[in-house]
Homo-oligomer: A and B are copies of this chain.
Amino acid sequence: MSSDSSTAPQAADHPPVQQLQTELLQELGPDVVVTDPAVMDAYRTDWTRDASAGQPLAVLRPRTVDEVQAGVRWAAARGIPIVPRGAGSGLSGGSLAVDGALTLSLDRMTAIEIDVATRTAIVEPGALNAQVKAAAAEHGLWYPPDPSSFEICSIGGNVATNAGGLCCVKYGVTTDYVLGLDVVLADGTLVKLGGQRVKDVAGLSLVKLFVGSEGTLGIVTRAILRLVPTPPPPATLVASFPTVQGAADAVVAMCARVRPAMVELMDRASINAVEDYTRMGLDRSAGALLLVQSDAPGEAAVAEVAVIEAACIANGATEVFATYDPEEGAGFVAARRAAFPAVERLGSLLLEDVGVPVPLLPTLLTGIEDIAVRNGVGIPTVAHAGDGNTHPIVVFDAADAAMARSARKAFDEVLALAISLGGTITGEHGIGRLKRAALSDQLGPDVMALTLRIKDALDPAGILNPGAGF
Contact = CB atoms under 8 A, between A and B. Distances in A.
Contacts of A256: 116, 119, 139-141, 229
Contact of A176 (B176, B197, B357, B458): B176
A359 B301 CA distance: 33
Contact of A208 (B208, B257, B303): B208
Contact of A201 (B119, B161, B229): B161
A303 B297 CA distance: 9
Interface in A391-416: none
A166 to B, nearest CB: 12
Interface string A209-252: 10111001100000000001100000000000000000000001
B185 A450 contact: yes
A427 B201 contact: yes
A211 B255 CA distance: 26
Nearest to A174: B201
A155 to B, nearest CB: 16
A451 interface: yes
Nearest to A193: B447
A359 B169 CA distance: 30
Contact of A199 (B139, B164, B443): B164
A421 B205 CA distance: 21
Interface in A424-443: 424-431, 435, 439, 442-443
A315 interface: no
A356 interface: yes
Contacts of A173: 199
Interface stretch (A127-135, A343-351, A381-389): A381-389
B196 A422 contact: yes
Nearest to A353: B201
A330 interface: no
A117 to B, nearest CB: 4
B427 A197 contact: yes
Interface in A241-292: 252, 255-259
A259 B450 contact: no
A308 to B, nearest CB: 12
Interface string A101-123: 00000000000000011111000
Given A205-B175, A298-B303, A197 B422 contact: yes
A192 B447 contact: yes
B388 A198 contact: yes
Nearest to A440: B203
A148 interface: no
Contact of A212 (B205, B211, B300, B447): B205
Contact of A458 (B217, B387, B453): B453
A200 interface: yes
Contact of A205 (B201, B213, B450): B213
Interface of A: 116-120, 139-141, 161-162, 164, 168-169, 172-173, 175-176, 185, 189-193, 195-206, 208-209, 211-213, 216-217, 228-229, 252, 255-259, 296-300, 303-304, 355-359, 384, 386-389, 422-431, 435, 439, 442-444, 446-448, 450-451, 453-458, 469-470
The 8 closest A-B pairs by CB, nearest first: A208-B208, A457-B457, A297-B300, A199-B427, A117-B359, A200-B424, A196-B357, A198-B387
23 contacts: A119-B255, A161-B201, A168-B199, A172-B176, A175-B208, A185-B450, A190-B446, A191-B444, A195-B423, A195-B424, A197-B387, A198-B355, A199-B388, A200-B424, A200-B426, A201-B431, A202-B424, A202-B426, A203-B447, A203-B470, A205-B208, A228-B259, A229-B256
